[in-house]
Amino acid sequence: MYPTNAEIESIFGELSKVPSGCIAFLNHVDDGVKWEITGQNSLSGHWTSKSEFMNTVWLPIIKLIAEPGPILEIASPERMMRNEDGWVAIELKTKDTRTKTPIMPSISPLAIQTFIEDHPMVQGLRQSGKFIEYRGYGDYPHHLRERNLCRPSHWPGNDTHPTICICRSGWGNLIEILYFGGHVSGYPGIVHGGLLATILDEGLGWCCFPSLPGGAGATVTLDVRYLSPLPTDSFAVLKAETKDVVGRKEWVEGHIDTLPENGEPTVVAEARALFVAPRNGNPPGV
């Protein structure tokens, strides 16, 4: 027997009560209940249990919200939808909710570089002898670099730093270490999903371009799945790998993970892409 609409409204109505409303709401939910946030943004995704949803989405967001905490209310009760299988779709909106994360860079370029240089993953890659290393856009022609969207200094406050790219010898694999500052949010305190898609497009492209005719290509398809929010003012790592090459076409897969100093990383977003080299061997506009 599924809850009535009135009972559902009462349960979701707990979210508007602070400071304990969110806890009361979650106490109504069994651990085996499936969760879904729709849309194409950094919070979208599917979760198979309450604990998974709590650990990957809810708790990271709560840490970013100022007192008294998140206040959510039902946007349009009359638009609630449900089906015979028990699924309920309900639209929520925030009210008087703000982030406690300052929207400004909180770490110096030197501190960014020191963190990356000292990170165990970076040191391990360097010591393996299987990778070559270069700086993003370090050898890009000046007249093109100044007009490039992904050039680091293009972002306000120099907020996105593709500081190190490490590629497996012979190409086909790429690892890019990044820092996202405070001016790149969509939802306050969360890195904009569109920026993550741009970084994935760029990283997957750099992974495959060296093996394409002419050393360049154009994105034909890019499929991005957002799995977990990435806080601003945080480090991340992009990993990409070529899966297949047929003539002028190349298929690449990759993902962006958090880069904690200690502990296990969390997958933020993953992508698949198809790139095609121009017929004349030169990228458009060159």
Q: Where are the domains of the chain?
A: 5-94, 109-276
Can you name the CATH fold of 109-276?
Thiol Ester Dehydrase; Chain A (3.10.129)
Structure tokens at 206: 């750099």
pLDDT in tens, 88-116: 788 888 777 776 654 444 567 777 778 88
Query: Distance (Å, rounded) from C-alpha 234 to C-alpha 268?
Result: 12
Residue-level pLDDT at 169: 59
Residue-level pLDDT at 106: 57
Residue-level pLDDT at 286: 46
pLDDT in tens, 164-213: 666 665 668 888 888 888 778 888 889 999 999 999 999 998 888 887 88
Structure tokens at 200: 């994935």
Residue-level pLDDT at 170: 61
Output the average pLDDT for the chain: 78
Q: What are the per-10-residue average pLDDT scores of the chain (286 residues)?
A: 79 77 80 76 76 80 74 80 79 75 57 81 83 65 60 46 61 85 83 93 88 84 94 91 91 94 89 90 54
Residue-level pLDDT at 159: 47
